Amino acid sequence: SAFFSASEAALFYLREPDLRALARGNRAQRLAERLLSDPDRLLSAVLFWNLVTNITYFAIVSIVAIQLDRIRDVGQSAVVGFTLGSLLAIIFFSELLPKTLAVLKPRSLAKLVGLPLSAAVRMVDPLMPMLQSINLISRRLIWPNFESEPSMEISDLERAIEHSGND
């Protein structure tokens, strides 16, 4: 989970100079740069694997908590403490810490995750039509009138400054 969270943050935090440097780098670096050519595919795959990993983690935590609850010498507060500790551990070690580190050094991390992440994305490719359909249906149900805005260009900013006047 930490791997996928950090990968997502690092790759989507890259800027144009970083992408150009990765495109000229070794195979793993070029793979990382190419993953961003289809950001929807990348994000869908990362979210899929992060979900699978987290579900597996919570299944294991649940089994351990049930086993702890069956032991007579272990009190209910220990079971609750274990469960809450497990939740806090996954939040901190699989979300907060990896994403924070990835944002601080996105290019360095992108060099490391390119090869394994591209393999993980390819493994999800057979499921991609289904994931895209679910995404489309949910967008139409939740945000039926949502229209994405085009990216701003430098010329748009220049025109905004020209029209802003003295204020």
Residue-wise pLDDT tens digits, 50-94 = 999 999 999 999 999 999 988 888 888 999 999 999 999 999 999
pTM of the predicted protein model = 0.77
Q: Tell me which of 57 and 162 has the higher pLDDT.
A: 57
Q: How many CB atoms lie within 10 A of CB 79?
A: 18
Q: Distances in Å between the alpha carbon of 117 and those of 52, 88, 98, 134, 137?
A: 15, 26, 15, 22, 27
DSSP string, 39-98: HHHHHHHHHHHHHHHHHHHHHHHHHHHHHHHHSTTS-HHHHHHHHHHHHHHHHIIIIIHH
